[in-house]
Amino acid sequence: MRYALSLPWLLNKNALSKTLQASALAVALFGSSVYTAPAFAAEEDVDSAAVTTDSGSSTESDGSKVDQVFSSAEQEAIKQLVHDYLIEHPEVLVEVAQALEAKQLYSQEQSLTEAIKFFREDEFVPRRGDLDAKHYLIEFFDYNCGYCKVVREHTKRLAEDYDLVTIYVEFPILSALSVRASAIGLALFAQDKDKYLEYQDILMTADTRITEESQIQDAVKKVGADYEQLSEQINSDPRIQMALRKNMELGQKIGVQGTPFFILDGTVIRGAVKDYSTFEDIIKAAEKSEPAPTSDQDTTEAEADK
């Protein structure tokens, strides 16, 4: 059953129940004079309301026709009603904000679970260590990210101190040469996983950024691979572009806005970790099955920094 609300009754605040106040809000927001009420609304006081039949005709209690379209003046009056209600009950806005925050948090948690599962299970994601290790570290990095290079000392030590697998997510956002270096790296990974790790170490321990393609070529040559062959493989192996797109897609879903970005045993760490103890605290909390808080280090290199 549907109700077409007559304006005089609608503007009577004392007559409005919470259900029909919600109806008024819907009318104000969507500009419709007919609100599809929930089933229990039939129990409300609707003496002054007009009942709309399935055929679309409507009659008031006295049998007269009701205009189903509010005039501009009536719409303004409804908006004022909603405004006044929110002023009198501002806690409604707090409840809305809390509900939105909870929904967004749930969505992000779901996306994080999806990303962790993908990066830990997909065979075309580079890693160092045993997938069956007790702990895991997922690292989003860019070959031109200075902060990524600085924190490498900590992540290397972490792998030495604990039973841990490091999973590398190629996330080139800083330059076109970053994208080139990642594509060449994944092509190399498809050929030889050990050579990929050597290639990555060469570029990530370099003192300078990649400003010339020749720097990528030199790294490939040092590991004993053929640069031209790798270049051809980028075009012939669809997994390479698919992997880069997937990395970007999942990164956006979980809120990666710059590099480095880590997920250590389910805990998110944004930015370069200054103290090794930050990693250790998360590891120890995971061993005790205690949830560790998200850590924002505020030291990332983002696309805007190019």
By the 8 A CB rule, do 196 and 126 touch? yes
- Range of lowest pLDDT (5-19, 217-231, 279-293): 5-19
Task: Report the C-alpha gap between 74 and 215 in whole angstroms.
Answer: 70
| pLDDT band for position 69 (cuts 50, 70, 90) | low
Does the pLDDT of residue 139 top 50, yes or no?
Answer: yes
Does the pLDDT of residue 54 top 70, yes or no?
Answer: no
Does the pLDDT of residue 3 top 60, yes or no?
Answer: no
Q: What is the DSSP string of the chain?
A: -EEEPPHHHHT-GGG--HHHHHHHHHHHHH--SEE---GGGGGS--TTSEEEPTTS-EE-TTS----SS--HHHHHHHHHHHHHHHHH-THHHHHHHHHHHHHHHHHHHHHHHHHHHHHHH-TTS-EES-TT-SEEEEEEE-TT-HHHHHHHHHHHHHHHHSSEEEEEEE---S-HHHHHHHHHHHHHHHH-HHHHHHHHHHHHT-SS---SHHHHHHHHHHTT--HHHHHHHHHH-HHHHHHHHHHHHHHHHTT--SB-EEEETTEEEES--S-HHHHHHHHHHHHTTPPPPPEE----B-GGG-
Token digits for 174?
């800083």
Does the pLDDT of residue 128 top 80, yes or no?
Answer: yes
Domains annotated for the chain, with CATH where assigned, are: 2-89 (no CATH), 111-305 (3.40.30.10)
| pLDDT band for position 86 (cuts 50, 70, 90) | confident
Report the range out of 91-105, 239-253, 277-291 with the highest average pLDDT.
Answer: 239-253
pLDDT at 253: 94
Does the pLDDT of residue 38 top 80, yes or no?
Answer: no
Does the pLDDT of residue 11 top 80, yes or no?
Answer: no
Task: Report the C-alpha gap between 204 and 225 in whole angstroms.
Answer: 18
Predicted structure pTM score: 0.66
Determine how many CB atoms are found less than 10 A away from the CB of residue 99.
10
